[in-house]
Amino acid sequence: MSRLITSRWVRLALAAAVATAIVVAVLRPRRSPAVSGAGSRAGTVPGAESRVEVAPRPEAEAVQAPRWPQAPILGTPTADDLKRYAVESRLPAFLTREITPRAPLDRAVRRTLNRWGAVACTLCLLALGSQVLENAVFSKETGTEYLTGVLGESVCPPYGQAGAGEDAGTCVESGEDFSRPWTVHEGLSGEAAPQDQETPSPEAVAPVQDADCHPAARVPHRRPLSPKVTRAVDRQWGRIEKWLRANAPATYRTLAGPARPGTIAVAEAQMGLRFPDDLRASLLRHNGSVTTGRAWGFGPMGEELLDVRQIRDTWRMLCGIGPLEGDYEPGVEPDPRGEVWDGRMVPFGADGVGGHLLVDSVEHDVGKSAEDGPLDFMPGGVRVRSYYALLKATADALETGGTIGHWKPRIADGNFDWNVVEGTE
């Protein structure tokens, strides 16, 4: 029951209600047996014609008050009359049957029950008071700009942006678990492209900075996900999981559990962009993969899938590395897809030697980054139109033994791995 009811207030209220019900049930007044009125009245036969001889009263005795209520004019109905005109009850039998009165408890038992009831009520009041005191003294309160969580990440100062967030006293940590629902931000609804950035001045002499790596402050917002996209992504993951369980169980165990929608919302707000829907659906199925001592973390094209936090950290790291000073000409708008890195890209895989699989948050196609060259949107020598297309191609390659470009899946020492097909590089 404690796993189903997570709120402390609800549990305390239920405990108080149960204790009160027990005390009331035990201490409720016992109904004493009804006293028949036949022996307390003088024997009179109803009816106008019948008379009863009454002994003469003493002179000192006052005149007896008239009987109330008076006998009906038509006479008192007999048992047969009551049975004839009785209305049949429609209530269940257990509700209409007479309750046999119980003997009242003696004084010692009632005193004991009163004491235990008082103790139970006192404990409930103490528990309620301690909860109120804890909430009033030790609970953290959130402001209107920043949200509080447990992942240990800052929402207030976007990466590399100066402003109010630079003050250490104004930055509140945020993460996976949140103290209140996210507020809807008007600029985050729908599937529009990332927010517009200010165009650099043509007269600027200094190199143009990547505006996508310095987003404005945004409120995290949990965007709805289409059930159609979720079903499509889950179908491809089902194929991959089935093949890994049968052929590479150690690699199958590297798949992580699902991410939380709030975590994805925080990462999107900090990075200033939107993850494609198929990538979000995949993270809600498996939040990356984890390399173990027995197997490398699963991923397409020889790379390990990143979780939400690694995606955010890798994005920050790549934004910190590039671009170089000589990559821009003054007053010339750079090509986001021809640079070493651009902030609108979302890395989701890592090869362990500095390269990363990525998806363009605007075009939604898949590319590859490298330390010594520009972005490549022909990973493995083939064009991948979306993250979902890469996931489907991976499932097809596993089931048929085919390839994705020059990458071919294989089983080595009981573990899953990717092999580069000879003559393709």
- The model's pLDDT over 399-417, given as tens digits with 9 standing for 90+, comes to 999 999 999 999 988 889 9
Q: How far apart are CA 397 and CA 302, in angstroms?
A: 13
* Count of CB atoms situated within 10 Å of the CB of 355: 21
Closest by alpha carbon to 344, among 356, 331, 361, 357?
Answer: 361
- Let me know: does 336 contact 344? Beta carbons within 8 Å: yes
* Count of CB atoms situated within 10 Å of the CB of 96: 9
Residues 6+ apart with CB under 8 A from 264: 222, 275, 280, 283, 284, 308
Does residue 26 carry a pLDDT above 60? yes
Task: Cite the DSSP H helix spans in 146-276.
Answer: 227-247, 249-252, 261-271
- Quote the percentage of the chain above a pLDDT of 90: 38
> Which of 71-75, 250-254, 322-326, 332-336 is predicted with the least confidence, judged by mean pLDDT?
322-326
Exposure of 352 by Cβ count < 10 A (0-12 exposed, 13-18 middle, 19+ buried)?
Answer: exposed
For the entire predicted model, the pTM comes to 0.53
Q: How far apart are CA 298 and CA 287, in angstroms?
A: 12
Mean pLDDT of 261-287: 95
Residues counted in the chain: 425
Predicted pLDDT of residue 138 = 59
User: Between the CA of residue 100 and those of 34, 35, 81, 103, 106, what are the distances in Å?
Assistant: 11, 14, 26, 10, 18
Q: Is the dihedral of CA 162, 165, 169, 173 positive or negative?
A: negative
Predicted pLDDT of residue 336 = 80
